[in-house]
Structure 1
């Protein structure tokens, strides 16, 4: 194992799934560390084998004899499984004949069950775990417990003063979370990584998912989307700027979601807010890649990157938090908007506004106050996350927190239940 390996929170998720599930699928973007994570899990297993389908000889063997390729009675890792669709039904047949848990770990750089080339054969036999680029807590060795903390707290959270300033957050945004980019010390070296990454996506990943008529249009679309980071998607406007049809834009965006380059955050609405719009909000899975595509950028774009950064940290935490919740945004036809909304399974709501300034003004809470008025006790809390140092309460379940609270706040179990832990 590499000496500079960063422990991933998904490791425990994969190990737990193998204990009771026949097939565990580790899905995620290229270069997020899926293969490294899977091998880390296999390291403690007495009998195992690994098959890497990026190797031409291995791929040829899988294509010619998928049944023989799987002939092993212990845990098998198959890396980049989307490269050989013929394996899918063979894996189904294998685990149906031998239904013991922990038979296969499959990794892929695309949302496997969304690919038309793969039959929907493992839906009741598998568990899928999405691996994101590194979180700030994984990079810094911090708890990454904000989601559990905000839903577990009975009052507005408070934390020690943050040492980070706006420039520190922008540096973290530009670094991103791809392990290779994190390890590179200079913006120039990271830029070389991001350039190569985009080329690989165009040459390999997109072609694996679908045939596109004009690759140049896809590349231009990626750049346009980066300029609209954390904004709502207007398909017709994008089509007009690219001089292509709206159905083509929708198809291309679906492809970019399938390969984990972007994620669309759905709009939130309830019976209490009937004038809400339905347009999704765009989030780049990695803030570093979006930052690279924007350079040079405007102050407005820096604000969008900050919002994208916060949503990305929330999305990562939702894959491992004990609280089962979903991420949305809110915008209505009367001009009320909230950057991020977390809603748990019981219907409790936490609203989050993101500000790139180092101070908070009263108007920054207007959206949160509006939602509190509409939802009443159903709104558990509302926060402005900003680049300043202090945490403050504004009453009525509303407050402001440093953005770093996202990863420096933890939740610990005690004999009386769960308690909030803040890391200075």
Structure 2
């Protein structure tokens, strides 16, 4: 099968020739190994028990495999991290090692963080542009340029098409699947994570169903700032003797170490530009398809408005899952453009901006999501509020929706159908 190029490839093209070692982090199934294999001469697969035991006995053996070298599932023998770090200290030539991991090793498993020696890149499920759903016309990097130029492009995708992309998943191996086979694989992915991957991370789960219930509650809190107490309450309805809050935190930490949770942090601008901002992250799973499957929601059920969300933000589950798909499609190219992504919500909840994409100079692009094919003045009020406070520090403002055309409103705000968003 021909390799489908990913946005991360652009980052590796730019970095790997000069950086000696790069670790690619992300959940199982996002394509990390396949992408890394495209640019190495040798591979060490530590998910093989025989190879893992051999390398664990003498980690320095990996250095005999030649360069450039892919060390797959490196966290299974975390000592190889320090072996690579020392090798890079001795020879800083670019393009030597790619380390791929689907989990973070336990704290203290490596002697050194690798800072300054081993770079880190996050790999997420496929965006719509990577899936080849449409030929996109509006570049996120261009919006971050701040020129506020005219926009063009038409998008034939309907609401039903976007909902299909929510449930279809951005995991490459699941893309060809439909119907029961897709549901089966998503269920198996989640069950294997709880039954096998979580215990491998050192957390003994006495009742796997309790963790799955917590995951369902987390899925219902997608794109909200629900507290972990609210998520725990939703996971144990009618249960008088609730688990301790520490249980919820333990679930969160271990699932984060498997890269299955991908919350958007609250944006904290420098200086006194904005005050009274909330600090709670917005909850997202690695792939909105996982959230939809946890909630048992098919495309038709979502289109029928089925589902109840958890958290302070009003809205349908479909609206929250669409925001999660938009968030995925923004975060991946934002990383490639060397920008970070946060969200904004004032403490009293009177102003919210779904996503704030921030360049390293502190200037930002504001993004609102809208599950509709039209945009009204009501939909842009928070963007205008932010523009009044940021002035020229706001590079641009955009509403990403399900409409047919990309254009600029008379007030200068960009309107972009999600299918037209390019890196």
Give TM-score scaled by structure 1 length: 0.87
- Please say which of residues 86-95 and 30-39 is displaced more in the overlay: 86-95
Any gaps of 5 or more consecutive residues in structure 1?
43-47, 411-424
Cross-structure match for 1:303: 319
- Whether the 8 Å CA contact 2:78–2:109 is kept in 1: the answer is yes
- Whether the 8 Å CA contact 1:239–1:245 is kept in 2: the answer is no
Q: 1:142 to 1:120 in 2, by over 3 A?
A: farther
- Whether the 8 Å CA contact 2:136–2:420 is kept in 1: the answer is no
- 1:397 matches 2:412: yes
The CA RMSD over aligned residues, in Å, is 2.3
Take 1:287 and 1:58, find their aligned partners in 2: how far apart are those partners? Answer: 35
The within-5 A match list for 1:203-214 is 203-214=195-206
Paired residues, number: 397
- Whether the 8 Å CA contact 1:156–1:397 is kept in 2: the answer is no
- 1:125 matches 2:117: yes
- Whether the 8 Å CA contact 1:137–1:144 is kept in 2: the answer is no
Cross-structure match for 2:186: 194
The within-5 A match list for 1:17-416 is 17-42=15-40, 48-111=41-104, 115-140=107-132, 142=135, 146-155=139-148, 157-184=150-177, 186-214=178-206, 215-241=208-234, 242=236, 243-270=242-269, 271-296=272-297, 297-298=306-307, 300-321=316-337, 324-332=338-346, 333-407=348-422
Take 1:347 and 1:86, find their aligned partners in 2: how far apart are those partners? Answer: 37
- Whether the 8 Å CA contact 2:42–2:68 is kept in 1: the answer is yes
Q: 1:129 to 1:399 in 2, by over 3 A?
A: closer
Deviations 1:18-66 (A, max 9, x none): 3222222121110111111121112xxxxx3211111111011011122
- Whether the 8 Å CA contact 1:150–1:157 is kept in 2: the answer is no
Take 2:257 and 2:94, find their aligned partners in 1: how far apart are those partners? Answer: 28
- Whether the 8 Å CA contact 2:326–2:418 is kept in 1: the answer is yes
The structure with the greater share of residues assigned to strand is 1
Take 2:148 and 2:62, find their aligned partners in 1: how far apart are those partners? Answer: 56
Give TM-score scaled by structure 2 length: 0.87
Take 1:189 and 1:24, find their aligned partners in 2: how far apart are those partners? Answer: 35
